[in-house]
Amino acid sequence: MIEFINVNKTYPNGVTALKDINLKIEQGEFVAIIGLSGAGKSTLIRCINRMHDINEGTLNVNGVDVSNLRGKQIRKFRRKIGMIFQSFNLVTRTSVINNVLVSSVPELPSWRKTLGLFPKDKKIAALEALDKVGILDKAYNRVDQLSGGQQQRVALARTLAQNPSIILADEPVASLDPVTAKVVMDDFKRINQEMEMSILINIHHVELALEYADRVIGIRQGEIVYDGKSEEVTQEVLDSIYGSVTEIPHMNNPEEANV
């Protein structure tokens, strides 16, 4: 479970990204976070794994107060939280399986890290993760031979190989075409349902949020202005999230996605 209690986040430049956030996310939920760029969406999910520190309030993840973690505790804590980025964050000049195996590096002794020698069980886990996202046949291809959608699925497989309880995704389909974006979102949904894994996605495309997420959180200027079921999102709700913006980002207008 993830719980924000009166959480505030202000950056050193004085910008307040989160204002008095109170939020509880149960294990196994699929949550989409929507809002304009700069509204605080990325900050919200990056506070969960301590990529950003909060200034005030309490943030508990699976019973752990993340603000109290230090050094090795943070690294161990992050092992159970997968993070997926828009830019994939892959090493493109090596193989797909090597990129997935990177997830096991923190657990290996120094000599294995130095030589790049991975135990058999880690290799099996990497192959199983690739199978779950439908690209097992690409395991020994170089990453730079894959399409953008396939690369994002490699990133998802790398995260699954960590065996996390939570996946955080920061605009995972923003750089993909509409058809490929839906394929990747299908993977997220299937993993959420089959593995009962909590998934939080920061996403610009409203119709994808409504189609795939069970719950939608709308953020405007650092504040939660909507938190409810995706099927209950109305035009009035969208107006409260996006304000006076006349064109809300949609998949058929990808140029609007970075409003």
Same domain, 45 and 173: yes
Mean pLDDT score, 219-228: 96
Residue 134 forms part of a structural domain:
yes
Residue 122 forms part of a structural domain:
yes
For residue 224, list its beta bridge partners.
Answer: 219
Same domain, 154 and 27: no
Mean pLDDT score, 125-140: 94
Same domain, 135 and 60: no
Same domain, 258 and 173: yes
DSSP at 30: E
CATH number at residue 244: 3.40.50.300
228: containing domain? 1-80+168-177+199-259
Same domain, 71 and 109: no
Residue at 92: amino acid letter: T
Same domain, 96 and 124: yes
Domain end marker among 163, 190, 214 = 163
Same domain, 172 and 47: yes
Residue at 179: amino acid letter: V
20 sits in the region (left: phi over 0; alpha: psi -120 to 50; else beta) called: left
Closest CA to 22 of 39, 38, 44: 44
Res 50: pLDDT: 94
Same domain, 173 and 61: yes
Domain end marker among 139, 163, 187 = 163
**pLDDT-derived band of residue 152, with 50, 70 and 90 as boundaries?**
very high
Residue 54 forms part of a structural domain:
yes
User: Tens digit of pLDDT for each residue in 53-104?
Assistant: 999 999 999 999 999 999 889 988 988 999 999 888 898 888 999 889 887 7
Residue at 207: amino acid letter: E
Mean pLDDT score, 147-154: 93
Same domain, 87 and 76: no
Residue 193 forms part of a structural domain:
no
User: Tens digit of pLDDT for each residue in 230-259?
Assistant: 999 999 999 999 986 645 565 444 444 332
Same domain, 74 and 172: yes
Same domain, 1 and 54: yes
CB 32 within 8 A of CB 44: no
Q: Is 157 helix (H, G, I), strand (E, B) or coil?
A: helix
Number of domains the chain is built from: 2
Same domain, 55 and 173: yes
Domain end marker among 136, 163, 190 = 163
